[in-house]
Amino acid sequence: MSNGISKKYSGIALVAAFAMGMAISGEAAAKDKVKVGFIGPLTGGVSVNGIGGRNSADLAVRLRNKDPKAKYEYELVVQDDECKPNIGVQAATKVAADRKVIGAVTHYCSAVAIAAVDTYHKFGLPVVVWGAVLPDITYGNTYKEVHRVNGTMINQNQTAAKFMRSLGYETWAVIHDTTDYGKGHNKYYSENLAKEGGKILATFGVTSDQQDFTAELTKIKELNPDVIYFGGLTPIGVRVRSQMEKLGIKAVFQGTSGIVSDAFVEGTGKLAEGVVAFREGAPTENLPGGQFFLEKYQAEKYDSPPEAYGAFSFAAMNLVLDAIEQVGPNRKKVRDVLNKTSGRDSIVGEISFDDHGQNTVALITKYVIQDGKWTVWEDSDYAAGKRKLVGQK
């Protein structure tokens, strides 16, 4: 009975999709339908990144469906994880429990990803993480199902500590959100900074819905550090940067990959100038396939930008689609193909998974905001000596 009904419905869906396919591409051959998943934050404070990621994954699927050589017709199943671990586990269960979903591209928020990996393992769904940077997502387990195209926060913080010390800064104050993301950044940055001989004067954990930071910042003002290190995502980042100005704090604002977004620049306006942050991988437009990606993205007329991690989502989805093309819609086989990924060309550069499914992204890009744009440090006026960060030596 169950099968009867679901067949009927999928029949209708197939006909509809088929008709649409005809209309769009004029292609007549009926292909088998395969589902792939996307999970990211589509509502809530970081929804901009989630929607950018979703659009990018959607772009990969659309392009593939237009490709006459593709063996299957793909359908993207999208779920909202709200950047909340519990909702993320639900979304993961939903996607993973649907046997027709063969692979998925999942999670921007580390806190969600780390909660959901068990679910993927339980259901045997191969996934590729597209934005979460907490090391434990891949290194905290031995799940064959979990892969990640973007780098972890360890590399990011190594480079960050070295670089900031090289600019001559001595003292830091740390503000981090109390999720695993913020705590992780705090941990790895503190470790690396200690190695480099920098000094942390004070550390403040803040909750992700906090609006007023004047109390923490006044305390920081008292300590007068050279740099404020912020481990968290865009919404709080904007608030902290704005309120620093209120209190007349002149320190440099140093962020993590979580604030590398157009939304941060827009939110802080003029105050964005001279903010530094670090992210794994090269900027989208400098990537080997970056221009191609951005052009295609424009062509589909999505109403919001891909944001910093869109390219990763696009690349991750392509990995999944390639694997399905190669071995057919079978979760185990797709998983094995993904595990063996090595030296694959993609728009984010070469992708190779180690035995934990982690892409070894050696490159960390240093960013500084110059004239309202995230600019690669080396290309900026700051590196050229035309402008100077506060206290830069």
Partner 1 sequence: MQDELKPTGKPLWQALIGAVLTTVYLILLLKVEEQSEVIGLLAGGAVLLLLLTKTGHLGGIGNTLHSREGALNLLVILGTLAIVGFFYEDHFTLLLIATVMLYVLATLGLNLQFGFAGVLNFAGASFFGIGAYTAAVLGAHTAVPSLLIILVGGVMAALIGCVLLLPVLRTRGHYAAVVTIAFALLFKTFLEVNDILGGPQGLQVPSMKVFGWDFNNNVALGDSVELSFYFSYIIVILLVLIAAFVLVRRVERSWIGLNLDALRLDETAASCFGLNIVRWKVTAFLLGNFLIGIAGALYGMVGGFVAPTSFTFADSLILVSIILLGGIGNVWGLIVAAAIVVIVPEKLQAIQEYRFLLFGGLVMMMLLFRPEGLLPRSVRRYFPGGAER
Partner 2 sequence: MDIGFLAQYLMNGLMLGMMYALVAVGFTLFFGVLDVIKFSHGDVLTVGAFTALATYLGLEQIGVTDPATQILVMVIVSTVLIGGLGAVIARTVILPLRSAPPLNTLLITLMLGTVLREAVRLFYPEGGNPKPFPALLPTDSVTFGNFNLRLDNVLMFGAGVLVIVGTQWMLNRTKLGLAIRAVAQDEETAKTMGINFNLIVFITFALGSALAAFAGVMNGLYYNEINFGMGLLLGVIGFSAAIVGGMGNLYGAILGGFLFAALQTIGAVALPFASAYKDVFAFAVVIAIMAWRPTGLIQEKVSDRV
Nearer to partner 2, 142 or 224 (CB): 224
Smallest separation (angstroms) from partner 1 to the CB of 206: 9
Contacts with partner 1 by CB under 8 A: the residue count is 38
Residue with tokens 């003002």: 221
Using CB under 8 A as the binding rule, whether residue 200 contacts partner 1 is answered as: no
Using CB under 8 A as the binding rule, whether residue 243 contacts partner 1 is answered as: no
Q: Which of 14, 62, 93, 333 binds partner 1 (CB under 8 A)?
A: 93
Smallest separation (angstroms) from partner 1 to the CB of 253: 23
What residues are paired with 165 via a beta bridge? none
Q: Which of 94, 187, 221, 387 binds partner 1 (CB under 8 A)?
A: 94
Q: Which of residues 90-149 bind partner 2 (CB under 8 A)?
A: none
Using CB under 8 A as the binding rule, whether residue 58 contacts partner 1 is answered as: no
Using CB under 8 A as the binding rule, whether residue 211 contacts partner 2 is answered as: yes
Smallest separation (angstroms) from partner 1 to the CB of 248: 28
Smallest separation (angstroms) from partner 1 to the CB of 77: 9
Using CB under 8 A as the binding rule, whether residue 186 contacts partner 2 is answered as: no
Using CB under 8 A as the binding rule, whether residue 171 contacts partner 2 is answered as: no
Nearer to partner 2, 120 or 297 (CB): 297
Tell me the window of 76-84, 338-346, 355-363, 366-374 that interacts with partner 1 (CB under 8 A): 76-84
Q: Which of 102, 115, 315, 320 binds partner 1 (CB under 8 A)?
A: 115
Per-residue H/E/C for 52-76: HHHHHHHHHHHHHHHCCCCCEEEEE
Smallest Cα–Cα separation from 353: which of 95, 139, 124, 184? 139
Smallest separation (angstroms) from partner 1 to the CB of 111: 6
Torsion of CA 305, 308, 312, 315, to 10 degrees: 40
Q: Which of 27, 31, 62, 118 binds partner 1 (CB under 8 A)?
A: 118
Alpha carbon distance, N-terminus to C-terminus of the chain: 74
Using CB under 8 A as the binding rule, whether residue 87 contacts partner 1 is answered as: yes
Tell me the window of 46-54, 286-294, 331-339, 348-356 that interacts with partner 2 (CB under 8 A): 46-54
Tell me the window of 73-81, 141-149, 189-197, 363-371 that interacts with partner 1 (CB under 8 A): 73-81
Using CB under 8 A as the binding rule, whether residue 273 contacts partner 2 is answered as: no
Catalog residues that contact partner 1 under the rule CB under 8 A. 1-2, 5-6, 9, 12-13, 42-43, 47, 51, 78-80, 84-87, 89-90, 93-94, 97-98, 111, 114-115, 118, 122-123, 177-180, 183, 205, 207-208
